[in-house]
Structure formats: structure tokens, C-alpha cells
Amino acid sequence: MTSKSQNTSSQGYILLVDDQPDNLRLLSTTLTEAGYRVKNAISAQVAFMGISAALPELILLDIMMPDINGYQFCQQLKDKDETKEIPVIFLSALNDELDKLRAFEFGGVDYITKPFHVKEVLARVKNQLTLVRQKQKITEQNLLLQQLNAQLMEVNKELIRSNKDLEQFAYIASHDLRSPLQTMKAFAQLLVQKYQDRLDTKADRYITRILEAGNRMDRLIQDLLDYSRVGNKAIELEPINCDSLLELVLANLQAAIESSSAIIIHDKLPTVMGKGTQLAQLFQNLIDNAIKFRRPDVPLQIKISVQQRQKISSLSALTVGGKVSESSNRSTQLVGEKVVIPQAEAEWLFAVSDNGIGIETQYFERIFQVFQRLFTIEEYPGTGMGLAICKKIIERHGGCIWVESSLDVGTTFYFSIPLR
């Protein structure tokens, strides 16, 4: 370090200030033999010159000196930013309680009474230098934390900005794509209505494929819009009766339920704090998934259950022995413009179970990503957005979602919602 910096020798740099040469000699010898680097000052003036050359880590200061006394010297140290943090141990033959009190009032950290006892001096010096080192370490760690925090805030701002731009782009792009798509579908439909009898079989097949592709694109755009809307605005929590909500969802899915002959049973569901439209979409996507991925030779059964439990800090999809276990990667907060959900002491744990085809363990995390499909569009229709939307909805509500599944046995999707 430079001359005006704190000395960093292994044992510490100590400045002794005393107008008595014998005292200086005794203390200097004692501390030097103990491994400390020592500099002597016979007066306050000499001491200030030494301090200007290199800042000591500790000062042992005699109170009774001819030019200025130790109290005044210490006061001058404390009045300067560069020296105010240097600890001062006062040395004095004065043993009165008032003298000791005055020493501490002027900024001293300890007080050694003459005549000196070697073990006492070494113990008090070691104690103060230990405190100095600890304080330096804390200061360095705090500085590092401040730097890391500043970097984290910048990264967080950039992520918020990127997410906002991405959501806005997805919304605008999807919205703008729908207009030409609807035009294309309308003209294809007109071809079917007006020219179907005039075209050959091959042309009819082409038109049918155009309409099918248009419908798939329409569903994809709608799912993309739904995904962007989930994170586009801060949600306002309100009481949602999940029993009533589920009735509406089942009514919307009535045709699919009847065509699949699905048997759906559910517990009495609670009232939760959430966003009704988003929770309805969550239940609808999960039930629709169960219907879609059923086994053709097994009657479909879907069960929706719920339990209240104390919230734990480990709720993520990690596999253990072919099953999903709860682990330490919980999504409970969103930052920036997104709503920050306060921590709750308890939560509702929902489960949507089926006896369908099941999911291989290796896909447990992948299925929650956007545009992820495990089958071709010919095998199972869909856009690969449904579970990604579910994940985003649950994260917005301060919970998490994960899956347990076995091939040819069935699948259970779990999701949690904080109890408020």
C-alpha cells in the first residue's frame, strides 16, 4: 500500500507515543519480541510525522506529555477522517476512575496503567489488533457485497427490461399475425363453400390441409397471447372459490369430457387468493391434458384433490428413484414490475391426477418449457404451450408446480398456492 495507507504486516504495525525513553524502550522491546512492527515517538509532533508517513494499526499513547497531552492528541486523531478509525490505548500512571472515564470519552478503546505488566500489555494489544483485523475483514466483505449487489441490480434491471420487451413483442407479434391468418382461413373456407364440387379430390385435400394448418396456427397464436398476458400486468389478488371455478371449467370442457367418457371426481376445494381467469386456465389446461393423453383401452379417471400444509422451502421437480421429490428451488417471488407475493406460513397443495399414458422421468422439467411437445401433432394435437402457461400462472401466484408420473400408470400434477 501507499505511505498513507494502513500497514498490513502479519503481526501489525504499532505506534508508541511517550515522552519517557525508558517506557518507550520497555514497550518497544516487549512488542518487538512478540513479533510486532513498532515505531517510537518521543512527542506528539514526532508521532504526527510518523502517522503522515504510514498509518499504524494501533497507537499506544501516554496521557502526560509536555507539548499536548494524550487526550488532546487523541482528539486531533478523531477529528480527521484518515485517522479517526485508528484504535488508541491510553498509557498512564493515573489510576483514578475519572481519568479512565475521560480517556474513553476522548475515543480511547482501552487503558493500561503504569507500571506495565508484560502479559497484560500483550493481551490488550493482541485483543485490539484482532478487533482491527475483524473490522477490516467486515469492511472488505461489505464492500464486496455492495459491489455484487450493484451488479445484481443491473442484471435484474436488464432481465426485467428484456422480459418486458419479450412479452410486448410476443403480444404484438401474435396480435398482428391473427389478422392475415383470419384472412387466409376465410378465403380457404370460401374455396370450400364455392368451389368444392368443381375441384378434383387432390385440390380438395390441399384446401383441407390449408384450413387445418390455419386452425393450428390460430391455436398457437392464442396460446402465445395467453402466455404473454399472464406476465404482462401485475395481478390483483381476490378471493376465488375453487369449487365454483371448477364447475365453470368442467362446463367449458363438457364436450371433451363426454367424448372421452372421463370420470372426474374432486375434493371440496377451498377459497384461495388469486386471479380467477388465470386459475381457471390453469385447471382447464391440466384437465384437458389428462383427457388428451389418456390410454385408449382404459376408462379415464381424473381426480382433483387438495390439502393444507405448512409451507416448506423445498418445492421443485427433482427425480428420486423414478419419482419427483421436493427440493430447494422454489419460485415464490417476482421482482420489478411484477407483483411480489409476501411469504405465507401455510399453503394449499393441489393435485390433478389421472390414469393416462404417463410421462418419462427425463421429460419432467422439459414439459414446462414453451413449445415443448413429446409427441407429433398427428399423435396428439396441441401447441406445446399449455404447461408453460400453467407454470407461469403458478409462479405469479407465489407457488410452484411439478409432476410425478409413471408410464402406463398415470400422472399427477402438483401445484401450490400460498394461504393468505
Within this chain, do residues 60 and 185 fall inside the same structural domain, yes or no?
A: no
Task: Give domain status of residue 321, yes or no.
Answer: yes
Please tell me the predicted confidence (pLDDT) of residue 251: 92
Within this chain, do residues 299 and 246 fall inside the same structural domain, yes or no?
A: yes
Please tell me the predicted confidence (pLDDT) of residue 320: 34
d(CA 255, CA 208): 23
Q: Provide the 8-state DSSP code for 34.
A: T
- Is the pLDDT at 316 greater than 50? The verdict is no
Task: Give domain status of residue 81, yes or no.
Answer: yes
Within this chain, do residues 211 and 243 fall inside the same structural domain, yes or no?
A: no
Instruction: Specify the higher pLDDT residue, 9 or 252.
Output: 252
CA 184-185-186 angle, 5° bins: 90
- Is the pLDDT at 233 greater than 70? The verdict is no
Q: Provide the 8-state DSSP code for 217.
A: H
d(CA 375, CA 359): 11
Within this chain, do residues 243 and 226 fall inside the same structural domain, yes or no?
A: no
d(CA 179, CA 85): 70
- Is the pLDDT at 242 greater than 50? The verdict is yes
403 vs 168, 269, 366, 412, CA distance in Å? 30, 20, 11, 6
- Gyration radius of the chain over CA positions: 37
Question: What's the domain range around 17?
Answer: 13-116
Within this chain, do residues 281 and 202 fall inside the same structural domain, yes or no?
A: no
Rounded mean pLDDT of the chain? 81
Task: Give domain status of residue 43, yes or no.
Answer: yes
In this structure, which amino acid lies at residue 367? I
CATH number at residue 42: 3.40.50.2300
Task: Give domain status of residue 31, yes or no.
Answer: yes
Within this chain, do residues 211 and 250 fall inside the same structural domain, yes or no?
A: no
The helix, strand and coil proportions of the chain, stated in percent and rounded to the nearest 5, come to 50, 20, 35
Domain boundary among 91, 116, 141: 116
d(CA 271, CA 244): 9
Report for 8-12, 35-39, 99-103, 216-220: range of highest mean pLDDT:
35-39
Range with lowest mean pLDDT among 121-130, 212-221, 237-246, 272-281: 212-221
Within this chain, do residues 355 and 271 fall inside the same structural domain, yes or no?
A: yes
- Residue 362's CB is within 10 A of a number of other CB atoms, namely 8
Please tell me the predicted confidence (pLDDT) of residue 58: 93
d(CA 133, CA 192): 85
In tens, the pLDDT along 35-67 reads 999 999 998 889 998 898 899 999 999 988 888
Please tell me the predicted confidence (pLDDT) of residue 195: 77
Please tell me the predicted confidence (pLDDT) of residue 204: 80
Count of domains for the chain: 3
Task: Give domain status of residue 124, yes or no.
Answer: no
In contact, 231 and 247? CB cutoff 8 Å: no
Please tell me the predicted confidence (pLDDT) of residue 7: 44
Question: Taking Cα atoms as reference points, which of 373, 418, 370, 406 lies closest to residue 390?
Answer: 370
Task: Give domain status of residue 258, yes or no.
Answer: yes
Within this chain, do residues 406 and 278 fall inside the same structural domain, yes or no?
A: yes
Within this chain, do residues 43 and 93 fall inside the same structural domain, yes or no?
A: yes
Please tell me the predicted confidence (pLDDT) of residue 270: 95
pLDDT band at 158 (very low <50, low <70, confident <90, very high): confident
**Which residues, other chains included, contact 364 with Cβ-Cβ below 8 Å and sequence gap of 6+?**
317, 319, 324, 402, 403, 405
Give the strand pairing for 301-310 and 346-354. Answer: antiparallel
Helix (H/G/I), strand (E/B), else coil: 82? coil
- Is the pLDDT at 298 greater than 90? The verdict is yes
Within this chain, do residues 207 and 262 fall inside the same structural domain, yes or no?
A: no
In tens, the pLDDT along 178-208 reads 677 778 778 888 887 787 777 788 888 888 8
Question: Taking Cα atoms as reference points, which of 416, 290, 395 lies closest to residue 349?
Answer: 416
d(CA 154, CA 185): 46
pLDDT band at 113 (very low <50, low <70, confident <90, very high): confident
Domain boundary among 116, 139, 168: 116
Range with lowest mean pLDDT among 43-52, 224-233, 380-389, 395-404: 224-233
- Is the pLDDT at 340 greater than 70? The verdict is no
- Is the pLDDT at 230 greater than 90? The verdict is no
Please tell me the predicted confidence (pLDDT) of residue 170: 66
Task: Give domain status of residue 323, yes or no.
Answer: yes
Instruction: Specify the higher pLDDT residue, 418 or 188.
Output: 418
- Is the pLDDT at 174 greater than 90? The verdict is no
In tens, the pLDDT along 369-389 reads 876 666 655 566 656 788 988
Q: Tell me phi and psi for residue 2, to 5 degrees.
A: -75, 175
Is the pTM higher than 0.85? no
CATH number at residue 177: 1.10.287
Within this chain, do residues 258 and 278 fall inside the same structural domain, yes or no?
A: yes
- Is the pLDDT at 3 greater than 60? The verdict is no
CATH number at residue 276: 3.30.565.10
Within this chain, do residues 276 and 242 fall inside the same structural domain, yes or no?
A: yes
Task: Give domain status of residue 131, yes or no.
Answer: no
Domain boundary among 92, 116, 140: 116
Please tell me the predicted confidence (pLDDT) of residue 240: 94
